[in-house]
Amino acid sequence: MRELNVEVITDAVREMCIEANYGLTPDMCERLQKAAGEEESPLGRQILHQLEENLEIAGNDRIPICQDTGMAVVFLEIGQEVFLTGGDLTEAVNEGVRRGYTEGYLRKSVVSDPLIRENTKDNTPAVLHTEIVPGDRVRITVAPKGFGSENMSRVVMLKPADGEEGVIQAIVNAVRDAGPNACPPMVIGAGVGGTFEKCALLAKKALTLPVDSHSELPHIRRIEEEALRRINASGIGPAGLGGSTTALSVRILTWPTHIAGLPVGINICCHVNRHAVRTI
């Protein structure tokens, strides 16, 4: 059994909140650069180059890549041979978010009650998802999620008979309905299967997968590729001003489901698809 003080998790989350908000992962940067070279619209290319310039300025000046520094979503994969000491795990994560958003001068966007809407002034609480896994390590993923794109996300409860075409159309419809509101080019995470809440969680996790990777399941890869093709044929384009790059990627995670259902969660993210990953 390995002992791990939760203060280590607090420190890691603090650093990761700042890291994720100040820059994108290398695969996202490469995908944006590739998109700028492939975009058919002159205006679309100009916008994509502006996004690249924005990334460079943020990196050089150590400032957030987007003014909406998001609500902190934290995934913890906790090895079953880890014994956590030193305090409450949830509070340790929230303290990391509190320090990161305060010390990193990141916008505080969380309200304590969804209707009264008084700002918590430190971007807590985080949305925390924990999973017990084999081993003696803790894998942390911090994924700040802005709400321009989050507001465009949805869960669709399809019928089993809707099949692959139903899943593709559900994803494409969500993007078309979002239009320019989700700050395209977008990254699309989808979860297929499970239950109402499980497919939504799968969709959120799918956004943290490598942007140019694909499912190992041939039928799911086929859905990813066809959905992306149709989305980019929609003409929405960068910033919604027309072009051939409406989305950079469609990633799908699946889960077993009930004989009577085909749940599909669609989590849309703008081009600022932020996340940081660390194993301790």
Contacts of 91 (CB under 8 A, 6+ apart): none
Angstrom distance (rounded) from CA 174 to CA 172: 5
Both 137 and 16 in a single domain?
A: yes
Q: Return the CATH number at 221.
A: 3.30.1330
pLDDT tens digit string along 85-125?
999 999 999 999 999 999 999 999 999 999 999 999 999 99
**Tens of pLDDT along 153-194?**
999 999 999 999 999 999 999 999 999 999 999 999 999 999
* 251 confidence band (pLDDT: 50, 70, 90): very high
Is there a single domain that holds both residue 192 and residue 164?
yes
For residue 103, give both structure tokens: 């010390």
Q: Are residues 11 and 75 both part of a single domain?
A: yes
Domain that residue 130 falls in: 2-20+65-145
155 token code pair: 């869960």
d(CA 206, CA 252): 6
pTM of the model: 0.96
User: Predicted confidence band at 196 (pLDDT cuts at 50, 70, 90)?
Assistant: very high
- Give me 261's structure tokens: 């259902």
Whether 238 and 103 map to the same domain: the answer is no
Is 245 among the domain residues? Answer: yes
Domain boundary among 145, 164, 192: 145
Cβ atoms of 194 and 255 closer than 8 Å: yes
For residue 21, what pLDDT band results from cuts at 50, 70 and 90?
A: very high
Q: Which two tokens stand for residue 83?
A: 């014994």
In a domain, residue 71? The reply is yes
Look up residue 198 and give its two tokens.
Answer: 């499980």
Lookup: tokens for 250: 């469609």
Strands 262-269 and 186-194: antiparallel
The number of folded domains in the chain is 2
Q: 130, 145, 160 — which closes off a domain?
A: 145
The reported pLDDT for the residue numbered 274 is 96
Q: Given the structure tokens 């890549």, which residue do they identify?
A: 65
